[in-house]
C-alpha cells in the first residue's frame, strides 16, 4: 500500500534523539514488542508485560526505544518513580525515520507542566488542549504555541480517597495506606490506575487530513489549569495538533516511540498497538 508523507514533519531537531539501534544495546521483548535501552538506561523484565527502566540520569536523555512495526496507535502505562523536583519525561513519535511529535511532562512543585511539539506547520505549529473527567469534556483551549506549556496539573486534595491505586502498588500496600489515612472506604485499592499514555493519528474527516494526537492519563483526577486561566478537575489530557489543510498530508502509520526520562527509575507496561492495514 502506498504511504503518504506525515502531516507532522521534522520535529525538534535539538532533542537529537537516537533513531537507530546500530550500537550494541540491551534489548528485551515486552508485550510482543522489541524494547531497547537508550543512553545509560538499563531494562529489567518485571513480568511478561511490565519493564523497569533504571539508571535514568538527570539530563533526561536515557530511556527506551520501542519498535512498533507499522502502527496507527500505541498505548502504554508509564510511571516515573522519582520524587525529584525537576523530574521530566519526553515521549517522541517517529515516522519514516523523522521525529514527528513530542509530548513532555515536567514536574513543577506539587504538579506537572504538560507540553507538546508538532510539525505540520513547521515552527508556527500550534495545538489544542482538551481535558476530560470520566469521559466528559471539561475544558478546551486552542492555539497553544509549539513547545509551550498547555496545561498544569495541581496536587490532589487528600481528604478523600482516590478512584484507584497507584501503578505497580500492591493491593495490600494500598489498603495499609488507605487505613493510615483514615478513609472509610478502601475499595479503590482493588482497581489499578492506568497511567496511560497514547499516541495516534487523529483523522480530520471533513478535510481528509491527519493530525498527531497525544493522550495522557491524569489519574487519580486532580485540578488542572489551562492557558486561559480556567481551573477544572480532569483525569485525562489530550494534546491535538492543529493542522492547516493547505500543504498537509495524511499518514498511515508510525514505526517507533522513543521514551526518555530523568530521575533514576520508571515502570513501563501494558503496551498495545493498532497495526496499519
Q: Are 23 and 114 in contact (CB under 8 A)?
A: no
- Across 98-226, the runs of DSSP E, i.e. the strands, are 98-108, 111-117, 126-133, 136-145, 149-153, 196-204, 209-226
Q: How far is CA 182 from CA 66, 155, 170, 179, 238, in A?
A: 41, 19, 19, 5, 34
Q: What are phi and psi of 162, to 5 degrees?
A: -75, 170
pTM, to two decimals: 0.83
Q: What is the DSSP letter of 53?
A: E
DSSP code at position 48: S
220 upstream amide cis, omega within 30 of 0: yes
What is residue 22's predicted lDDT score, i.e. its pLDDT? 41
Report pLDDT for 201: 82
Cβ neighbours for 236, distance < 8 A, ≥ 6 positions apart: 131, 132, 133, 215, 216, 217, 218
Stretches where the chain sits below pLDDT 70 are: 1-24, 167-168, 202-210, 245-252
Take residue 58 and report the three cell numbers written for it. 538527570
pLDDT value of position 249 = 52
Please tell me whether residue 171 adopts helix, strand or coil conformation.
helix
Amino acid at each position: 500500500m502506498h504511504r503518504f508523507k506525515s502531516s507532522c514533519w521534522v520535529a525538534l531537531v535539538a532533542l537529537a534523539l537516537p533513531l537507530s539501534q546500530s550500537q550494541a544495546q540491551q534489548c528485551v521483548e515486552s508485550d510482543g514488542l522489541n524494547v531497547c535501552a537508550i543512553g545509560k538506561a538499563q531494562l529489567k523484565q518485571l513480568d511478561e508485560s511490565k519493564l523497569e527502566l533504571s539508571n535514568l540520569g538527570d539530563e533526561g536523555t536515557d530511556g527506551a526505544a520501542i519498535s512498533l512495526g507499522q502502527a496507527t496507535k500505541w498505548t502504554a502505562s508509564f510511571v516515573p518513580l522519582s520524587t525529584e523536583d525537576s523530574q521530566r519525561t519526553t515521549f517522541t513519535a517517529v515516522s519514516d525515520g523523522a521525529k514527528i511529535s513530542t509530548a513532555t511532562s515536567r514536574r513543577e512543585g506539587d504538579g506537572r507542566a504538560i507540553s507538546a511539539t508538532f510539525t505540520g506547520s513547521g515552527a508556527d505549529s500550534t495545538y489544542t488542549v482538551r481535558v476530560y473527567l470520566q469521559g466528559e469534556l471539561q475544558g478546551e483551549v486552542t492555539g497553544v504555541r509549539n513547545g509551550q506549556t498547555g496545561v498544569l496539573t495541581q496536587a490532589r486534595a487528600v481528604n478523600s480517597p482516590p478512584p484507584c491505586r497507584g501503578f505497580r502498588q500492591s493491593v495490600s500496600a494500598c489498603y495499609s495506606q488507605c487505613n493510615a489515612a483514615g478513609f472509610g472506604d478502601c475499595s479503590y485499592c482493588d482497581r489499578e490506575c492506568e497511567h496511560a499514555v497514547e499516541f495516534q493519528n487523529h483523522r480530520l474527516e471533513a478535510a481528509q487530513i491527519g493530525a498527531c494526537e497525544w493522550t495522557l492519563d491524569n489519574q487519580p483526577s486532580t485540578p488542572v489549569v489551562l492557558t486561559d486561566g480556567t481551573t477544572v478537575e480532569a483525569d485525562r489530557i489530550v494534546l491535538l495538533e492543529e493542522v492547516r489543510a493547505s500543504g498537509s498530508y495524511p499518514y498511515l502509520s508510525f514505526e517507533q516511540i522513543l521514551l526518555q526520562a530523568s530521575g533514576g527509575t520508571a515502570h513501563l507496561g501494558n503496551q498495545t498497538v493498532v497495526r496499519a492495514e
